[in-house]
């Protein structure tokens, strides 16, 4: 994670060109984008708690049914993750972001309205989760594409640092805010508040006055562009192993995390506000992992650190099913904190390697492939977690998944990376067998 900046909306963030009016518009546009980003990231993190809590409290949803909510949310990454980058390239990014906010607002507002009319149902909650996932996918890609319109090229790192700082803060505070909003306001009004936040975000984006050029004409079709990225990853053994490892790890993580809300609220019996606070422990781990990554990479080497990050953290997941409604509730927080440290360290280092090894004109497509591989596994994992909980019970399912993580986490130790201290962009094209 980039280091935080002292003044994210300062005059240092300026667009190219000497026009003072354009510079003022860009500075104001960046502030509006930051405001929109804050509302969206906080709302997204809160919604992942509010939606399953709504299903549990209003519809008495089971572990399998709450897992389906997370599966529906991440289904967009599985279905649209590969072509999403090229699709956004064909439109103006600010319009994509405004459209994503409009979808969020309508989808979220429909739930309390249906609840008031006694028409709320689980299929409707699943449909809303699917729409929210689609909006998040396209909104995330578009805001990264739009930032260069508002800042100079040499200030992109500072601008991205600001947006990443907001995302990390939202991941830290959003789940707790979602749980507390359900506890204090009720799920009905918590959903309505999230809908209002999306509407305000759309208004902030609409008020940005920086002009956008027409989307560039593309030489190849969507399928051809996607295939070029896939072919590049297929020819790179290290990239291929990183993608497979990340996908399998996230398959298990998604299965376990899909059970967290129902496990804490119905099995352990903690209040809704504490559910959100406990889930926020993962964000604390992410912040710690971001701080540790450069230090670990310098001490042990970036390839070795990436290879060992998740295997070292994996045993901590065995603490989660030991959670009880007493001091042992801290075991849940410790498990998620440790897992988030390992995953964050791995993610930062594999992203850095991708940026080094990928040609500039392929980087966005390769990034989309990794997004598909990692987050496309999330709905499948959520379904698997729900199925395990339905057949074994929630706590035994968490035990099973913790053991499964111990099996898949060391995959990179069976790759060429096991003998390597630092990543090499000229790695052999044929992977070494384990």
Give the pLDDT confidence of 239-285 residue by residue, as tens digits.
888 888 888 988 998 898 888 888 888 888 888 778 877 877 877 88
For residues 214 and 44, give the distance between their C-alpha atoms in angstroms, rounded to a whole number. 30
The predicted model gives 126-154 an average pLDDT of: 80
Low-confidence winner among 123-137, 321-335, 360-374 (lowest mean pLDDT): 360-374
Average pLDDT, the chain: 79
Contact in structure between 197 and 43 (CB atoms under 8 Å) = yes
On the question of pLDDT at 219 being above 70, the answer is no
pLDDT grade for 355, boundaries at 50, 70 and 90: low
**What pLDDT, on a 0 to 100 scale, did the predictor assign at position 5?**
34
**What pLDDT, on a 0 to 100 scale, did the predictor assign at position 12?**
39
The predicted model gives 397-414 an average pLDDT of: 90
Low-confidence winner among 12-21, 225-234, 321-330, 408-417 (lowest mean pLDDT): 12-21
Mind listing the domains of the chain with CATH numbers?
25-210 (1.20.1250.20), 221-424 (1.20.1250.20)
Torsion on CA atoms 8, 13, 15, 16, rounded to nearest 10:
-150
Tell which wins on pLDDT, 226 or 395. 395
Contact in structure between 257 and 70 (CB atoms under 8 Å) = yes
Low-confidence winner among 12-16, 218-222, 246-250, 360-364 (lowest mean pLDDT): 12-16
Most confident of 71-85, 87-101, 121-135, 269-283: 121-135
**What pLDDT, on a 0 to 100 scale, did the predictor assign at position 386?**
87
Non-local (6+) Cβ contacts of 8 within 8 A are 34, 158, 159, 161, 162, 165
Reference 225, options 371, 88, 92, 365; nearest CA is: 365
Which pTM value belongs to this model? 0.66
For residues 227 and 84, give the distance between their C-alpha atoms in angstroms, rounded to a whole number. 13
For residues 301 and 306, give the distance between their C-alpha atoms in angstroms, rounded to a whole number. 9
For residues 60 and 53, give the distance between their C-alpha atoms in angstroms, rounded to a whole number. 9
**What pLDDT, on a 0 to 100 scale, did the predictor assign at position 159?**
63
**What pLDDT, on a 0 to 100 scale, did the predictor assign at position 364?**
63
Low-confidence winner among 1-15, 79-93, 171-185, 268-282 (lowest mean pLDDT): 1-15
Reference 162, options 141, 147, 178, 140; nearest CA is: 147
**What pLDDT, on a 0 to 100 scale, did the predictor assign at position 131?**
94
State how far the alpha carbon of 334 is from the alpha carbons of 170, 297, 338, in Å.
20, 23, 6
For residues 106 and 128, give the distance between their C-alpha atoms in angstroms, rounded to a whole number. 9
**What pLDDT, on a 0 to 100 scale, did the predictor assign at position 363?**
63
Distance of CA 214 to the CA centre of its chain: 29
Non-local (6+) Cβ contacts of 302 within 8 A are 349, 352, 353, 422, 423
Contact in structure between 428 and 416 (CB atoms under 8 Å) = yes
**CB neighbours (10 Å) of residue 27?**
20
For residues 2 and 4, give the distance between their C-alpha atoms in angstroms, rounded to a whole number. 6
């Amino acid at each position: 994670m980039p280091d935080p900046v002292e003044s994210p909306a300062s005059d240092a963030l300026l667009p190219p060109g000497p026009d003072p009016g354009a510079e003022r518009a860009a500075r104001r546009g960046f502030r509006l984008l930051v405001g929109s980003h804050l509302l969206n990231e906080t709302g997204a993190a809160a919604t992942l708690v509010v939606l399953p809590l709504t299903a549990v409290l209003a519809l008495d949803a089971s572990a399998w049914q709450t897992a389906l909510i997370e599966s529906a949310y991440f289904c967009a990454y599985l279905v649209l993750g590969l072509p999403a980058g090229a699709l956004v390239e064909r439109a103006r990014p600010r319009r994509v972001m405004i459209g994503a906010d409009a979808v969020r607002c309508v989808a979220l507002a429909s739930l309390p309205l249906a609840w008031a009319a006694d028409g709320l149902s689980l299929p409707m909650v699943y449909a809303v989760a699917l729409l929210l996932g689609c909006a998040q996918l396209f909104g995330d890609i578009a805001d990264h594409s739009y930032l260069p319109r508002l800042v100079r090229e040499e200030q992109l790192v500072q601008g991205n640092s600001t947006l990443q700082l907001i995302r990390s803060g939202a991941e830290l505070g959003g789940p707790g805010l979602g749980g507390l909003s359900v506890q204090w306001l009720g799920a009905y009004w918590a959903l309505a508040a999230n809908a209002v936040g999306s509407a305000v975000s759309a208004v902030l984006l609409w008020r940005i006055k920086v002009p956008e050029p027409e989307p560039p004409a593309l030489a190849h079709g969507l399928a051809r562009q996607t295939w070029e990225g896939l072919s590049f990853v297929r020819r790179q053994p290290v990239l291929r192993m990183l993608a497979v490892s990340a996908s399998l790890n996230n398959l298990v993580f998604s299965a376990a995390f899909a059970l967290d809300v129902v496990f804490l609220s119905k099995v352990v019996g903690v209040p809704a506000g504490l559910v959100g606070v406990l889930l926020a422990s993962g964000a604390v781990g992410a912040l710690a992992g971001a701080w540790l990554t450069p230090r670990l990479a310098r001490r042990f080497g970036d390839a070795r650190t990436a290879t060992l990050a998740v295997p070292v953290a994996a045993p901590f997941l065995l603490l989660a099913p030991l959670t009880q409604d007493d001091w042992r509730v801290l075991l849940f927080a410790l498990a998620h904190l440790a897992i988030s440290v390992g995953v964050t360290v791995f993610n930062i280092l594999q992203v850095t390697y991708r940026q080094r090894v990928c040609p500039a004109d392929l980087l966005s497509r390769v990034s989309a492939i990794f997004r598909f591989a990692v987050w496309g596994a999330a709905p499948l994992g959520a379904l698997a977690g729900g199925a395990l909980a339905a057949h074994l019970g929630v706590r035994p399912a968490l035990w099973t998944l913790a053991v499964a993580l111990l099996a898949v986490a060391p995959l990179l130790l069976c790759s060429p990376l096991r003998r390597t201290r630092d990543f090499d962009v000229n790695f052999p094209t044929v992977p070494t067998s384990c």
